[in-house]
Amino acid sequence: MSANFDQSLSPSDHEPDWAELRAKFPLLENYAYLDLGRKAPLPIYAKQAADAWFEDTFETGGSGAFSMSAVEDTRTAVAVAFGAPTDQVALIKNTSEGINIVCAGFPWQPGDNVVISVHEHENNTFPWRHLADRGVEIRFAEPDEDGCVRLPAYEKAVNERTRIVAVAWVAYGNGFRADVPALSEFCKSRDIKLVVDAIQAVGILSDRVDALGADVVVAGGHKAQFSLTGAGFMYLTREMIETLRPPYAAKFSFTSNDRHQEAPVLQNNARRFEYGNPNFMGLAVQRRSAAFVAEIGLERIEKRVRELTTYLIDQAEKRQIKVLTPSRWQERAGIVALAVSGDADEAEARLKDKGVRIAAKDNHLRAGIHFYNNHEDLDRLLDGLATL
């Protein structure tokens, strides 16, 4: 992929042919797939990218497959697709790696604290809790009566020793979308850094990651980005690039690969957080999938997901199924959580037998929706629920 590939990826003026795009996902021939919150089905382009990578290793020994220029093409593709300067994007394995880089590299002092919500994913919880032996306190923002953690909860939880607030842009359980820009303004007023787990939002919402006001945005790639596990990204402000001490280092972390230099100098960009040989094949898939998303256009994707999730919420309420996700679009994205009577895990298994893939979370069902879904998928879910 050439360095200026993005010039040919401007979304067209017409509405995408969603049925044609759906046909690019072979898994959807067999399932109404509503489990994006766990992992995405992959488009045929992912296999093509992996096949091309292996073909190059077989034919040339990997002169292109293991090329560092291809790594930079991936960085550019990700930056273009999701909205960030290329030098502020680190290509990392997953969300937990990014969170751990922040945890390990931040200049903590004993008595400092970090604030998270009680609804964060394990990978945005355990890394912070691991700081306890360094004298860092973990404080929790509590949800409202409807189970959502809004700005007032964070305002109540922070104090003069709060250094970081960490929040999911979209909560993995009930699908609540945090008002990240408002939270950013609050944090800036208190000189608090904001770290965002964006894995359930990137690829669904059209906001540029560098326009959220967050200091760090981390997203594994295996959900709405259509990448593989082990191929995600992290965006950092320039200030945070300088603030964080890389917890590990190798030749790509530095400006020179001369191992005899007297005083190695860290890269002055996000590459300082990368080390060793990357996941070359994963990056090949990540590069093609980011281009695929950019070709469609995030604004079109968000509009499509909004229409589909609104349909599911409306139809569920008509059938007297309790919806646990807020109805306002500004407070949700691609996840719709539905209450079920009885055991949610059993409901998940029985729906799978009916060809509907969905996740049981916290004793409710979580539908994860992307542009490839259609009304028939959602009707199959609702009809299946009616038979449970």
Q: Indicate the SS3 state at residue 173.
A: coil
316-350 per-residue burial string, b: 16 or more CB within 10 A, e: under 16: beeeebebbbbeeeebbbbbbbbebeeebeebbeb
pLDDT tens, 167-212? 999 999 999 999 999 999 999 999 999 999 999 999 999 999 999 9
Residue 80 placed within a domain = yes
The verdict on 248 and 107 lying in the same domain is yes
By C-alpha distance, which of 337, 331, 329, 338 is closest to 310? 329
Q: In this predicted structure, what is the pLDDT of residue 13?
A: 61
Number of domains in the chain: 2
Look at residues 278, 294, 310 and tell me which one is the last residue of a structural domain: 294
CA distances from 342 to 37, 324, 359 (A): 22, 16, 15
Number of helices (H), then strands (E), in the chain: 12, 12
Q: In this predicted structure, what is the pLDDT of residue 319?
A: 96
Vertex 375, ends 352 and 43: CA angle to 5°?
A: 65
Where residue 388 falls among pLDDT bands split at 50, 70, 90? confident
Residue 308 placed within a domain = yes
* pTM for the model: 0.94
- Answer whether 367's CB lies under 8 Å from 358's CB: yes
Residue 48 placed within a domain = no
Q: Is the pLDDT of residue 1 over 60?
A: no
- Answer whether 172's CB lies under 8 Å from 178's CB: no
Structure token pair of residue 204? 């669904």
Q: Is the pLDDT of residue 12 over 80?
A: no
The verdict on 302 and 285 lying in the same domain is no
Strands (E) across 103-215 are located at 113-117, 137-141, 162-168, 193-197
The verdict on 220 and 315 lying in the same domain is no
What's the domain range around 368? Answer: 298-387
Where residue 7 falls among pLDDT bands split at 50, 70, 90? very low
DSSP code string of 31-74: -EE-BTTT-PPPPHHHHHHHHHHHHHHHHHSSTTTT-HHHHHHH
Residue 178 placed within a domain = yes
The verdict on 341 and 264 lying in the same domain is no
Where residue 163 falls among pLDDT bands split at 50, 70, 90? very high
Q: In this predicted structure, what is the pLDDT of residue 5?
A: 32
Vertex 326, ends 324 and 331: CA angle to 5°?
A: 140
Share of the chain above pLDDT 70, in %: 97
The verdict on 259 and 318 lying in the same domain is no
Q: How far apart are CA 129 and CA 139, in angstroms?
A: 10
Handedness of CA 205, 207, 210, 212 (dihedral sign): negative
Q: How far apart are CA 80 and CA 87, in angstroms?
A: 12
Q: Is the pLDDT of residue 30 over 50?
A: yes
Block residue for tokens 């008002």: 179
- In single-letter form, the type of residue at position 216 comes to V
The verdict on 265 and 363 lying in the same domain is no
- Answer whether 138's CB lies under 8 Å from 113's CB: yes
Vertex 37, ends 32 and 39: CA angle to 5°?
A: 75
Q: In this predicted structure, what is the pLDDT of residue 8?
A: 36
The verdict on 88 and 235 lying in the same domain is yes
pLDDT tens, 268-324? 999 999 998 999 999 999 999 999 999 999 999 999 999 999 999 999 999 999 999
The verdict on 313 and 275 lying in the same domain is no
Q: Provide the H-helix boundaries in 107-206.
A: 126-129, 151-157, 180-189
The verdict on 258 and 321 lying in the same domain is no
The verdict on 256 and 145 lying in the same domain is yes
Structure token pair of residue 8? 């040919």
CATH assignment of the domain containing 262: 3.40.640.10
Q: In this predicted structure, what is the pLDDT of residue 110?
A: 96
Look at residues 294, 320, 340 and tell me which one is the last residue of a structural domain: 294
Cross-strand pairs, 254: 266
Q: Is the pLDDT of residue 11 over 50?
A: no
CATH assignment of the domain containing 309: 3.90.1150.10
Look at residues 241, 274, 294 and tell me which one is the last residue of a structural domain: 294
pLDDT tens, 219-256? 999 999 999 999 999 999 999 999 999 999 998 899 99
Q: What is the mean pLDDT of the chain?
A: 95
Q: What residues have CB less than 8 Å from 100, skipping those under 6 apart?
A: 127, 247
pLDDT tens, 50-70? 999 999 999 999 999 999 999
Residue 20 placed within a domain = no
- Answer whether 365's CB lies under 8 Å from 209's CB: no
The verdict on 104 and 206 lying in the same domain is yes
Where residue 14 falls among pLDDT bands split at 50, 70, 90? confident
The verdict on 284 and 196 lying in the same domain is yes
